[in-house]
Amino acid sequence: MAYHDDLLAQALTLVHAQPQTQATLRRAVSAAYYAVFHLLIAEATDHWDNPALRTTLGRAFDHALMKTSSNRILDAREFPYTNEDPRVLTDLKFVAQNFSQLQEDRHFADYNLTKPLDPSDALRQVKVAEKIFVTWPTVRGEEIAQEYLTLLLVKKR
């Protein structure tokens, strides 16, 4: 099983742990985000010809740039995507929008201890990550999805 799959499995286990604690809920949300983060990196680096260097290339990905890029593709003015299959666009935008949201959710879970994380929110966030894992394979072969993966690594010029 790939690392990102292990992280998603961990998130699902933690979110259903008994007794439910803030620590398990917060770790579940964090693991869910990192599962998607590493899924996208694995998908992007999978096209690199030298498998031995894929992990090194993966280290070049930056959380902030990935979030910015994910938010950019949601803007029809920047990315009009004319003549694209509407289903593919919807699915890709689902991945991008929810990656960005999961990053915010992870920041709350990891750093904001001023209020408790609601168990239903944690479960919803983990389920969103799980849905990204189901949605991504439906678009991964599309040119627009490959463009998205490239944007996650390349700073806008």
41 vs 35: CA distance, rounded Å? 10
Give the pLDDT confidence score for residue 108 in this predicted structure.
97
CA-closest candidate to residue 103, choices 71, 133, 146: 71
Give the pLDDT confidence score for residue 57 in this predicted structure.
67
Give the pLDDT confidence score for residue 56 in this predicted structure.
66
Per DSSP, the three-state class of 87 is helix
Number of H helices, E strands in the chain: 7, 0
Confidence (pTM)? 0.93
Tell me the average confidence (pLDDT) per consecutive run of 10 residues in the chain, 157 residues long: 95 96 98 96 82 70 89 85 88 97 98 96 98 97 92 82
Instruction: Give how far Cα 110 sits from Cα of 31, 50, 70, 102, Å.
Output: 11, 35, 21, 12
Give the pLDDT confidence score for residue 157 in this predicted structure.
63
Give the pLDDT confidence score for residue 75 in this predicted structure.
86
24 vs 30: CA distance, rounded Å? 10
